[in-house]
Amino acid sequence: MKPFLDVLAGKATARPPIWLMRQAGRYLPEYRAIRSQARDFLHFCYSPELAIEATMQPIRRFSFDAAIIFSDILVIPDALGQSVRFAEGEGPRLEAMETPEALKGLASALDEEKLEPVYNALRGVRAALPPSVALIGFCGAPWTLATYMIGGRGTPDQAPARHFAYQHPEAFQSLTDLLVEACTRHLCLQAEAGAEALQIFDSWAGNLPERELRRWSEAPIGRIIAGVKARHPSVPIIAFPRGIAGGFSRFVSETNCDAISLDTACALSDIRKQLPPGMVTQGNLDPLVLINGGSGLDAAVDHILESTAGLPHVFNLGHGILPPTPIPHVEAMLRRVRG
């Protein structure tokens, strides 16, 4: 019995299952200890033993209902031949692709052999997980991947990719098509290696106007979901289109996702009116309220529990957990969610 998968199938449970986006990572002392063993972050992602250990750490400590494989969305550009590195303390640095000519340097398909360590890690985690805990595989959505591939790094407003898409819509469409194929393949291979649910992170969807959201976020995600479902019809797919405010109704109908992960700014008291009846939701505690803890945290947790009572909901954050989060606050949140 896996409560997380029950909820994804549309069943409401007395208490919501819980996991946290970025639950494996720098807020855990045991993660920082093994991270220092690897040469660099990508090397860490491609070392199955380390990736398995990082995936299992939050499960051992907190008994979350789901484990998310330790990897990164940027393994896809790396496996398409773009240079990707993680500067210590600064985040990802890619060789920026600012012109249509630069995109011609990309491979025409994913280097699956390069990603084999990720699939090996999934197999290892699946074998190690307790029977009640589900395993999640993931990828970045084409739009979010493109923002890093074109900008060369995380940018405050994704302006490089937005300019590129306005200036060179055909080249941007070709890049999107390539990423749709790569993401579909990567998700299928993760399902074949043991992932029981999949999440697509469109962390930067919120900067797209309505028509661009349709073209660069919804349409490609819809194609990925259709492609994965054709081979793995029973694996549920969660989409995380961060920051799309009033756009959920169309997003869900255009993409056909099984569940929608709601960001921090999304009003739970209102969201049901936008969503089809019975739609599975996930989210959306503010990662900053978790850092602050205390009665503010209790009230925020209660608000989510009350707003989603009797509905198929997975308790989560509205965005990834942040490195300064105190572990006692995570424990307090878990006690409250679990009653």
Residue positions annotated with a catalytic role: 22, 26, 35, 72, 148
One of 2, 23, 48, 228 touching ligand 1CP (CB under 6 A): 23
Site for ligand 1CP in 200-219 (CB under 6 A): 201, 203
One of 9, 12, 13, 22 touching ligand 1CP (CB under 6 A): 22
Is residue 283 a contact residue for ligand 1CP (CB under 6 A)?
Answer: no
Burial class (CB in 10 A: 0-12, 13-18, 19+), 214: middle
**240 close to 201: Cβ distance less than 8 angstroms:** yes
Is residue 27 a contact residue for ligand 1CP (CB under 6 A)?
Answer: no
For ligand 1CP (CB under 6 A), the number of binding residues is 24
Give exposure, 18-36, as e/b (b: 16+ Cβ within 10 Å): bbbbbbbbebbeebeebee
Residue with the shortest CB distance to ligand 1CP: 154
CA-CA distance, 121 to 44, in Å (whole number)? Answer: 11
- Judged by CB under 6 A, which stretch of 67-75, 114-122, 159-167, 290-298 contacts ligand 1CP? 67-75
Is residue 259 a contact residue for ligand 1CP (CB under 6 A)?
Answer: no
Question: For residue 101, what are the contacts with CB-CB under 8 A and spacing of at least 6?
Answer: none
Question: Which residues, in sequence order, are bridge partners of residue 139?
Answer: 200
- Judged by CB under 6 A, which stretch of 64-72, 99-107, 262-270, 297-305 contacts ligand 1CP? 64-72
CA-CA distance, 334 to 329, in Å (whole number)? Answer: 9
For ligand 1CP, the closer CB: 135 or 311: 135
CA-CA distance, 219 to 202, in Å (whole number)? Answer: 12
One of 68, 149, 180, 304 touching ligand 1CP (CB under 6 A): 68
CA-CA distance, 98 to 51, in Å (whole number)? Answer: 32
Element (H, E) at 225: helix 219-231
- Judged by CB under 6 A, which stretch of 21-29, 108-116, 125-133, 276-284 contacts ligand 1CP? 21-29
- Judged by CB under 6 A, which stretch of 16-24, 106-114, 185-193, 247-255 contacts ligand 1CP? 16-24
Is residue 248 a contact residue for ligand 1CP (CB under 6 A)?
Answer: no
Name the amino acid, one letter, at 305. L
Is residue 130 a contact residue for ligand 1CP (CB under 6 A)?
Answer: no
**317 close to 68: Cβ distance less than 8 angstroms:** no
Site for ligand 1CP in 37-56 (CB under 6 A): 41
For ligand 1CP, the closer CB: 43 or 163: 43
Is residue 91 a contact residue for ligand 1CP (CB under 6 A)?
Answer: yes
List the one residue out of 248, 250, 157 whose CA is nearest residue 208.
157
CA-CA distance, 241 to 9, in Å (whole number)? Answer: 20
Is residue 154 a contact residue for ligand 1CP (CB under 6 A)?
Answer: yes
CA-CA distance, 339 to 336, in Å (whole number)? Answer: 5
One of 8, 24, 94, 110 touching ligand 1CP (CB under 6 A): 24
Note the residues at the interface with ligand 1CP (CB under 6 A): 21-26, 35, 41, 68, 70-74, 86, 91-92, 138, 140, 154, 201, 203, 319-320
